[in-house]
Amino acid sequence: MELETWNSPQNILVILAHPDDPEFFCGATLARWARAGHRITYQLLTCGDKGFNDSTPADMTPEALCAIRHEEQIAAAKVIGVEADAVHFGDCPDGYLIPDLNTRRDVVRVIRKFKPDILVTCDPQTLFATYGINHPDHRAAGQVVLDAVFPAAGSPVFFPELLREGYQPHMPKEVWCSLTMQPTVVLDITETWPIKMEALLHHKTQIGDTEKFKERMKSRRAEDSTDENPRYEEKFRVVKYK
């Protein structure tokens, strides 16, 4: 399948729902791109304040968890190759993300602000994932990003109030949808898989027992590889506009 065809450094914007989504969905690809000299920015639409699990302390509050997850995401992004000042968070409560017009306007604003060449999100058509039912925030994030890209982000007649704020129309050249069951691009990211794993380990509130987590992630190797010689892939549905 076709790989990246970029001849110069690209401005890459990642818009996903939660802290840890960039690393889980496409962290090895982002690490590959960062090491190739591309500039990467994160925009997380929620702060992950409901990411509780069996290992969460009983006295943890959503507000405290939100703050911790901000710190975890910034640390993980640094491993990937994304600077702290390029990691941004929205204020939508975890689990309540809806692809409505207000959220679409917010995403259009982000696209026009950062002017990406390449936009990364997730596939809103993925209802089921390897872990069961796909989180509604994941699907909502993908849907609102695609709705923002077309027809709004590049058109001056959509959300004209953004023009008054100083945000001129901008259209990315490509949209890469991760977490897809309909890939058009499959990247062999075996070389940067260890970087992805190192980054994921910073999301301590989400992974539970570290050794068990590492074992679970080993099972994500490509089907045609072995435990002795694992190979890893990340898959995308890519839409090109230019």
- Tell me the domains of the chain and their CATH numbers: 11-240 (3.40.50.10320)
Cα distance between residue 92 and residue 88, in whole Å = 13
pLDDT in tens, 168-196: 999 999 999 999 999 999 999 999 999 99
Least trusted range by pLDDT, from 32-36, 68-72, 137-141, 219-223: 219-223
Query: pLDDT at position 4, please?
Result: 81
Q: Is the pLDDT of residue 144 over 90?
A: yes
Q: Give the number of other Cβ atoms within 10 Å of residue 145's Cβ.
A: 30
Instruction: Report the length, in residues, of the chain.
Output: 242
Relative to beta strand 233-240, strand 185-188 is antiparallel
